Amino acid sequence: MGPTQLDFSRISDCYRDMDPTTIAAFVVAARVCIERRHDSDMFVPVSATHVRDDDDETSLVIDWQRPTQDELRTHDNDEDAARDGAYATAFLVARATLDVRVIGRRRAKDGADWIAEIVGTPPERRVLVEVSGLLDGDDTTNPATKRLAVKLKQLRDGNSGWEAIAFVVDFRPPTLKLLSRRIAEASSL
The pLDDT value recorded for residue 118 is 93
Instruction: Specify the pLDDT at position 109.
Output: 76
Nearest-angstrom CA–CA distance, 127 and 98 = 11
Closest by alpha carbon to 34, among 180, 178, 173?
Answer: 173
DSSP the chain: --PEEEEGGGGGGGB-SS-HHHHHHHHHHHHHHHHHH---SSEEEEEEEE-STT-EEEEEEEE--PPPHHHHHHT--HHHHHHHHHHHHHHHHHHHHH-EEEEEEPPTTSS-SEEEEETTS-TT-EEEEEEEEES---GGG-HHHHHHHHHHHHHHHHT--SEEEEEEEE--SSSEEEEEEEES-GGG-
Amino acid at 158: G
pLDDT of residue 53: 47
Q: Dump pLDDT digits (tens) for 7-56.
A: 999 999 999 999 999 999 999 999 999 998 887 666 777 877 766 545 66
* pLDDT reported for residue 172: 85
User: What's the pLDDT score for residue 40?
Assistant: 67
pLDDT at residue 159 in the model: 65
Stretches where the chain sits below pLDDT 70 are 1, 40-42, 50-56, 138-140, 159, 184-189
